[in-house]
């Protein structure tokens, strides 16, 4: 409710807590996991860690549709549900080349759309660009961790909808200015939890470089050792960017429009 009141004060309004499936929407599934529903009802899952994710609502742990998956890196809290989703829905899986190969070897099948940092690739009308991220990567296997390539962020562009930048797990870095120049993403999803990713001050600097229309924080309050609220992030933002911050509840769907979120 506090988030909804804050949004009303800035002129940004949320849709219903559970947006109609036919309405384009963005839903935070907890931690770094997001569900993007396109205008034609296709579903993109980013970093689908759902079943064992303590922050993911029980009714969202088992999706009823998945057409595409994007993985920013290979850590379990970003890819653990990929095998089950591939088995259930046979979605396209978008990730860097090494991560695709590692996941394919673990799963034994799948429709993998391998890419690499800086590349752009369109899959059935949806365009993905892999960006730099400063983190680590690796895929767990029965024989131990397998190299998962460089970690990434991703910019998603779908017809008629605002572009979305999911930064992945990352520190702040100066090339975010270049990303803003090249891609100008309107919606930016930034980790703020600290310890494993950017904290509040670094994420606020990232937002300053990116200058998006909408800012959504993630990778916080999943575990006790991560930041438990977005308050420090909000305080660190400039007054102008503070009005663009949306802090949805986990499981709350936001209407996705050409301008951003409405």
Instruction: Give the pLDDT score at 17.
Output: 43
Give how far Cα 6 sits from Cα of 9, 17, 111, 190, 247, Å. Answer: 5, 15, 42, 19, 9
Asked if the structure places residue 258 within a domain, the reply is no
Instruction: Give the pLDDT score at 104.
Output: 94
9: exposed, middle or buried (Cβ count in 10 Å: 0-12, 13-18, 19+): exposed
Asked if the structure places residue 2 within a domain, the reply is no
Asked if the structure places residue 196 within a domain, the reply is yes
For the stretch 186-212, pLDDT in tens is 999 999 999 999 999 999 999 999 999
Instruction: Give the pLDDT score at 22.
Output: 64
Q: What share of the chain is helix, strand, coil (3-state, %, to 5)?
A: 25, 25, 50
Task: Find out whether 126 and 39 touch, Cβ atoms under 8 Å.
Answer: no
Asked if the structure places residue 259 within a domain, the reply is no
Whether residue 96 has pLDDT greater than 80? yes
DSSP state of 259: S
Asked if the structure places residue 55 within a domain, the reply is yes
End-to-end CA distance of the chain: 17
Asked if the structure places residue 3 within a domain, the reply is no
Helix (H, G, I), strand (E, B) or coil at 188: strand
Asked if the structure places residue 54 within a domain, the reply is yes
* Structural domain that includes position 147: 16-249
Q: What is the mean pLDDT of the segment spanning 160-169?
A: 98
Instruction: Give the pLDDT score at 142.
Output: 78
For the stretch 10-59, pLDDT in tens is 334 344 444 455 699 999 999 999 999 999 999 999 999 999 999 999 99
What's the number of domains the chain is made of? 1
User: What is the residue whose two structure tokens read 């993403």?
Assistant: 185
Instruction: Give the pLDDT score at 140.
Output: 84
What is the overall mean pLDDT for the chain?
92
CATH of the domain at 217: 3.60.15.10
Asked if the structure places residue 49 within a domain, the reply is yes
Region at 8 (left for phi over 0; alpha for psi -120 to 50; beta for the rest): alpha
Q: What is the mean pLDDT of the segment spanning 103-110?
A: 93
- Closest residue by Cα to residue 31 from 182, 250, 238, 216: 250
Region at 171 (left for phi over 0; alpha for psi -120 to 50; beta for the rest): beta
Whether residue 139 has pLDDT greater than 90? no
For the stretch 204-238, pLDDT in tens is 999 999 999 999 999 999 999 999 999 999 999 99
Q: Is the pTM of this model over 0.85?
A: yes
């Amino acid at each position: 409710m506090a988030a909804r009141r804050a949004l009303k004060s800035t002129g940004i309004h949320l849709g219903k807590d559970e947006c109609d499936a036919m309405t384009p929407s963005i839903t935070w599934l907890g931690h770094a996991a997001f569900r993007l529903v396109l205008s034609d009802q296709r579903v993109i899952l980013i970093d689908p860690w759902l079943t064992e994710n303590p922050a993911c609502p029980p009714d969202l742990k088992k999706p009823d549709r998945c057409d595409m998956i994007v993985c920013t890196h290979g850590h379990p809290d970003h890819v653990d549900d990929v095998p089950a989703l591939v088995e259930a829905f046979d979605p396209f899986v978008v990730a860097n080349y090494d991560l695709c190969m590692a996941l394919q070897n673990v799963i034994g099948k799948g429709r993998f759309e391998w890419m690499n940092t800086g590349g752009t690739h369109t899959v059935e009308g949806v365009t993905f660009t892999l960006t730099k991220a400063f983190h680590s990567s690796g895929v767990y296997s029965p024989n131990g961790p397998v190299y998962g390539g460089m970690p990434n962020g991703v910019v998603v562009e779908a017809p008629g909808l605002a572009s979305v930048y999911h930064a992945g797990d990352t520190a702040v870095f100066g090339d975010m200015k270049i990303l803003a120049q090249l891609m100008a993403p309107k919606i930016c999803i930034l980790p703020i939890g600290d310890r494993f990713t950017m904290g509040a001050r670094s994420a606020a600097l990232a937002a300053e470089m990116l200058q998006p229309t909408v800012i959504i924080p993630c990778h916080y309050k999943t575990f006790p050792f991560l930041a438990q609220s977005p308050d420090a992030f909000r305080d660190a933002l400039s007054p102008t960017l503070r009005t663009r911050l949306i802090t949805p509840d986990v499981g709350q769907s936001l209407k996705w429009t050409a301008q951003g979120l409405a």
